[in-house]
Amino acid sequence: MGRTQTKSPSTGISSPVGVKSLLVFTVLLLAWMAGFLSRLFAVIRFESIIHEFDPWFNYRATAHMVKNGFYNFLNWFDERAWYPLGRIVGGTVYPGLMLTSGSIHYILNLLNIPVHIRDICVFLAPIFSGLTAIATYFLTKEIWSAGAGLFAACFIAVVPGYISRSVAGSYDNEGIAIFALMFTYFLWVKSVKTGSIFWAAMASLSYFYMVSAWGGYVYIINLIPLHIFALLLMGRFSHRIYTAYTTFYILGLICSMQIPFVGFQPIRTSEHMAAAGVFALLNAVAILKYLQSVMSQAEFRHFFIVAACTAAGVVFLAVVGLTWMGVVAPWSGRFYSLWDTGYAKIHIPIIASVSEHQPTTWFSFFFDLHILVATFPVGLWYCIKNVNDERVFIVLFAVSAVYFAGVMVRLMLTLTPVVCVLGGIAFSQLFEVYLKEEEPSRPNGGDSSDDDDDGEKNSRYDKAGKLRKMKHEQQATNDGLGVIRSMVIVAVLMILMMFSVHCTWVTSNAYSSPSIVLASYSQDGSRQILDDFREAYYWLSQNTADDARVMSWWDYGYQIAGMANRTTLVDNNTWNNSHIALVGKAMSSNETAAYSIMTALDVDYVLVIFGGVIGYSGDDINKFLWMVRIAEGEHPKEIRESDYFTDRGEFRVDSEGSTTLLNCLMYKLSYYRFGELKLDFRTPPGFDRTRNTVIGNKDFKLTYLEEAYTTEHWLVRIYRVKKPDEFNRPRIPVSQRKVKRRNVYLTKKTSKKRRGAIKNRPVVVKGQRPKAKPT
């Protein structure tokens, strides 16, 4: 009996590599599936549809590309946006997202799998979340160990900070860009470790994909030079990093310039200059190192001082000179707002008006990252403690991402992956310490294969401190602290369990409610869907002229273009501030002034969002001050923000509100005939549920516009702009009329009393033509 038992461990040990890779494969597959499935809440609760505002443009562009081919997409001039300017879509878009889903669609269609492009777009982000998990695994594996990698992969698959941008139906650049980011970083770390041109070239290809997908590529092209710079400062120059960076930079530069939207920016804007500077510096250092090996000590010192001073002076003068001459563009406003958080508020209200550009609160850090926010400093500490070339990178990544995430809520997204990596390291380290068996017979711990791994680590890593610490830890555990150990393990497992519960809860409650369909739950738990947005957009698409121009605030531009397929004046691609300001001015002027703007812009319909009936807080009245501010930025003489406040500086729509506000176009369009509406028995007519007040200006008529459509819950109101001949027709005295009435006599008899006439039929008098009825 005893002999047969020896068989089972023998097969297990015979192929440890196989078991290990099977385990890794299974864990990654499960992480992928967990990530994919937890992003489907919105699809299961509602339907497979693009949910948010921005993705509608991406979807529309993708559909256009699938329909017309890639080259037509690159040359696409969209005359339905930014009327009358139009938009060169091919040159102003990051095409990576559309290309990705377009090629998936193409391949599936080749295999006769007729999946609608919409479904591909909806499920693209969840699928890529799995790829992100795998990329994170590889990155963490390179930086620390495979175990930490598995932890990191599992974390990133479900962490809310990333889910917020990649749920099914949010078809946005970030969905694939985070994968590209992590994969580029993995390849970069790999190339730094190996110093091989192959990995560096792969890194630049991955960087190319990132450039094609998201404007956040600038983060990569600044972080990698920063890494090199830090390594140089730490005196860690080596031929490995020299090969890696020079290959990466040159190939990456050439590749990135192939994207039409990026074009010559990598050599002409300040955002990219750091990379060029580091490239020059690295080469200078390499030359110096070479000279150092040739020259004697004294010669070299003298030469070094002279060369360094001249080089620094030349580079500095060159950058300043080029910027001054206008060859290199200075930093754009969006980047200034990253350094100076108050900058946008003063100079570019349109950036400040977006809620996701607001500084992050502590609450949202915890909300998005949960326990990882506490463990990631631990991982960071481990990395700093056992520093080597690639760990310098992750440290820089962490520090910079934390800063950016603090500046803007939106950049929480770049922080999340590094938090997962470092959190994974922390947990893996913790388990390594507390989960190891006490085996006095084997001082090194672990079986033979582990020994090999450790041996490799020791030779590869610069500092062998890890091993020493391990011994120390093991001595501590030898003191019979078994109870403490199991308590720690149980506690950590509990924390991890709570983490996953929290992630699911956040995903389900905060990030899976589509903004396009509103759901309200009544007290008995039954769900009522408010589908007003689609009602209005579909009405527009079906019952207005194909070339009708719809004016609305820019938030709804992409949706109108995507769902209603109608021309818009401004949309979410806020590239032309003055055009937006013009729309803002029209909204904040009185009807007459607005009419002249609207006729100048050929507006046929005006669309406003009004939440007063159902208490929807994100409506246009609540956004109105931003419109005023943006309009004031361009037209300070006509529009003044102070006019819209009461004397006491309050913004209110009730009878105490300022007259300018109560008579501006936005107010009138929102509240037209609302003054007559009685919502329920407790409130007076004209009670606005969003602002909890009775509106101030109730009884007014519209002269230049007429109500064209209002959705069921009044959420979207569409007005038609009347043509000049439809209103205010001046009364011309009878004497001056060119067309005279032939018959001024009107019978006093009503039509019914007329003898012998059938209802409404003109009296026929013999011998005369029937007279035309006077009009």
Footprint on this chain of other proteins (rule: CB under 8 A): 2-7, 9-10, 13-15, 46-47, 49, 112-114, 448, 517, 529, 531, 534-535, 537-539, 542-543, 563, 673, 676-677, 706-712, 714, 720, 758-761
Burial of 534 (0-12, 13-18, 19+ CB in 10 A): middle
Minimum CB separation of residue 520 from other proteins in Å reads 13
Q: Which is nearer to other proteins, 214 or 537 (CB)?
A: 537
d(CA 560, CA 540): 8
Which H or E run includes 139?
helix 117-143
Q: Compute and round to an integer the Cα radius of gyration of the chain.
A: 34
Minimum CB separation of residue 5 from other proteins in Å reads 8
Give the side-chain half-sphere CA count within 13 A for 130: 19
Residue type, 265: Q
d(CA 425, CA 609): 48
Minimum CB separation of residue 471 from other proteins in Å reads 21
Q: Which is nearer to other proteins, 254 or 529 (CB)?
A: 529
SS3 content of the chain, % helix, strand, coil (to 5): 60, 5, 35
Would you tell me how many other CB atoms lie within 10 Å of the CB of residue 1? Answer: 4
- The residues facing 693 across adjacent strands are 688
Minimum CB separation of residue 224 from other proteins in Å reads 29
Give the side-chain half-sphere CA count within 13 A for 661: 25
Minimum CB separation of residue 139 from other proteins in Å reads 24
Q: Which is nearer to other proteins, 156 or 669 (CB)?
A: 669
Q: Which is nearer to other proteins, 459 or 747 (CB)?
A: 459
Q: Which is nearer to other proteins, 436 or 534 (CB)?
A: 534
Q: Which is nearer to other proteins, 362 or 521 (CB)?
A: 521
Minimum CB separation of residue 717 from other proteins in Å reads 8
Minimum CB separation of residue 277 from other proteins in Å reads 37
Q: Which is nearer to other proteins, 472 or 701 (CB)?
A: 701
DSSP assignment of 645-669 equals S-TTS----STTS-HHHHHBHHHHH
Minimum CB separation of residue 452 from other proteins in Å reads 8
- Do 121 and 59 meet the contact criterion of CB atoms below 8 Å apart? yes
- Do 552 and 606 meet the contact criterion of CB atoms below 8 Å apart? yes
Identify the sign of the CA torsion 592, 594, 597, 599. Answer: negative
Q: Euclidean distance between the first and final Cα of the chain, in Å?
A: 114
Residue type, 565: N
- Helices then strands, each counted (H, E), the chain: 34, 11
Tokens of 692: 């909890």
- The residues facing 218 across adjacent strands are none
Nearest to 585 by CA among 653, 643, 658: 643
Q: Which is nearer to other proteins, 6 or 768 (CB)?
A: 6
- Do 374 and 496 meet the contact criterion of CB atoms below 8 Å apart? no
Query: Residue 103: which residues within 8 A CB-CB, separation 6 or more?
Result: none
Q: Which is nearer to other proteins, 82 or 719 (CB)?
A: 719
Nearest to 720 by CA among 541, 550, 564: 550
Q: Is the peptide bond preceding residue 84 cis, with omega within 30 degrees of 0?
A: yes
Q: Which is nearer to other proteins, 526 or 760 (CB)?
A: 760
Q: Report the 3 state secondary structure along 221-266.
A: HHHHHHHHHHHHHCCCCCHHHHHHHHHHHHHHHHHHCCCCCCCCHH
Q: Which is nearer to other proteins, 15 or 642 (CB)?
A: 15
Minimum CB separation of residue 251 from other proteins in Å reads 22
Burial of 738 (0-12, 13-18, 19+ CB in 10 A): exposed
Minimum CB separation of residue 536 from other proteins in Å reads 8
d(CA 93, CA 212): 9
Minimum CB separation of residue 484 from other proteins in Å reads 30
Minimum CB separation of residue 298 from other proteins in Å reads 44
Q: Which is nearer to other proteins, 255 or 613 (CB)?
A: 613
- Do 436 and 477 meet the contact criterion of CB atoms below 8 Å apart? yes
Identify the sign of the CA torsion 654, 658, 659, 662. Answer: negative
Q: Which is nearer to other proteins, 347 or 673 (CB)?
A: 673
Q: Which is nearer to other proteins, 758 or 765 (CB)?
A: 758
Minimum CB separation of residue 6 from other proteins in Å reads 5
d(CA 174, CA 221): 17
- The residues facing 12 across adjacent strands are none
Minimum CB separation of residue 119 from other proteins in Å reads 12
Q: Which is nearer to other proteins, 656 or 726 (CB)?
A: 726
Q: Which is nearer to other proteins, 208 or 671 (CB)?
A: 671
- Do 585 and 603 meet the contact criterion of CB atoms below 8 Å apart? no
Minimum CB separation of residue 734 from other proteins in Å reads 27
DSSP strand pairing (605-609 vs 549-551): parallel
Minimum CB separation of residue 335 from other proteins in Å reads 36
Minimum CB separation of residue 565 from other proteins in Å reads 9
Q: Which is nearer to other proteins, 216 or 562 (CB)?
A: 562
d(CA 323, CA 488): 57
